[in-house]
């Protein structure tokens, strides 16, 4: 009877600020999209379902396009169910964590070692770029929201916590990539003496 995971994602956004479906879909690209994403074609039907369950309501607002523009906000029940869900342990660790990159590493012994090393290096650079982005967000948070990020009953605290998770995650992946590149280089392609070239 309660909402789906996507429903709770939408409620989590609406609890911060009432929004249109379009804005929700945009927010689910970045930065919340770093841990939960959805396309607008999923958002609109889900909003209708949440409304049918009495967890959100909307008012029609003037705006562009051929249809009514609707701004959604959570109901009292929506807020309390969201809070209850957030404090309930998830069924179990999925242990799933589908990761196509790790799957490639799993078969990397069949690939050309130089191609494999280059692939890992490229991925590491992508993670470095991501880390830089997270660090900027953290700095911004610490500058403008210094008071709220210490209070776990504010949305700013929750934002900060997820950004910290991102930073920690990227740092770990980068360190592992560097380790792996060193290993591939050391064990396979005994580096031809480049000093003569």
Please give the Cα distance from 129 to 124 (Å, whole number): 9
Q: Using CB under 7 A, which of 18, 31, 69, 79 touches DNA?
A: 69
Q: Which does 41 bind (CB under 5 to 8 A by kind): DNA, its own copies, none?
A: DNA
Q: Which does 7 bind (CB under 5 to 8 A by kind): its own copies, DNA, none?
A: none
Express the helix, strand and coil content of the chain in percent, nearest 5 each: 65, 5, 30
The residue behind tokens 């060193």 is: 182
Q: By C-alpha distance, which of 78, 16, 17 is closest to 47? A: 78
Please give the Cα distance from 48 to 44 (Å, whole number): 6
**Contact status: 22 vs DNA (CB under 7 A):** yes
Q: Cα separations (Å) of 91 from 44, 67, 85?
A: 27, 40, 11
Q: Which does 69 bind (CB under 5 to 8 A by kind): DNA, its own copies, none?
A: DNA
Q: Considering beta carbons, is residue 53 or 69 the nearer one to its own copies?
A: 53
The CB-of-66 to its own copies minimum distance in angstroms stands at: 31
**Contact status: 34 vs DNA (CB under 7 A):** no
The CB-of-142 to DNA minimum distance in angstroms stands at: 27
The CB-of-143 to its own copies minimum distance in angstroms stands at: 18
């Amino acid at each position: 009877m309660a909402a789906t995971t996507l429903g709770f994602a939408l409620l989590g956004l609406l609890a911060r600020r009432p929004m249109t479906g379009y804005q929700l879909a945009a927010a689910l690209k970045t930065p919340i999209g770093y841990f939960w994403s959805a396309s607008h074609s999923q958002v609109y039907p889900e909003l209708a379902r949440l409304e049918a369950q009495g967890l959100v309501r909307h008012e029609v607002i003037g705006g562009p396009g051929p249809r009514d523009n609707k701004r959604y906000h959570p109901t009292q029940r929506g807020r309390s169910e969201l809070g209850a869900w957030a404090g309930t342990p998830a069924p179990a660790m999925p242990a799933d964590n589908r990761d196509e990159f790790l799957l490639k590493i799993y078969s990397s012994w069949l690939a050309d070692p130089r191609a494999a090393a280059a692939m890992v290096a490229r991925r590491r650079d992508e993670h470095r770029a991501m880390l830089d982005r997270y660090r900027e967000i953290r700095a911004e948070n610490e500058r403008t929201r210094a008071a709220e990020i210490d209070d776990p009953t504010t949305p700013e605290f929750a934002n900060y916590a997820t950004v910290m998770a991102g930073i920690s995650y990227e740092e770990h992946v980068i360190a592992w990539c560097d380790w792996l590149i060193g290993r591939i280089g050391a064990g396979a392609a005994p580096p031809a003496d480049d000093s003569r070239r």
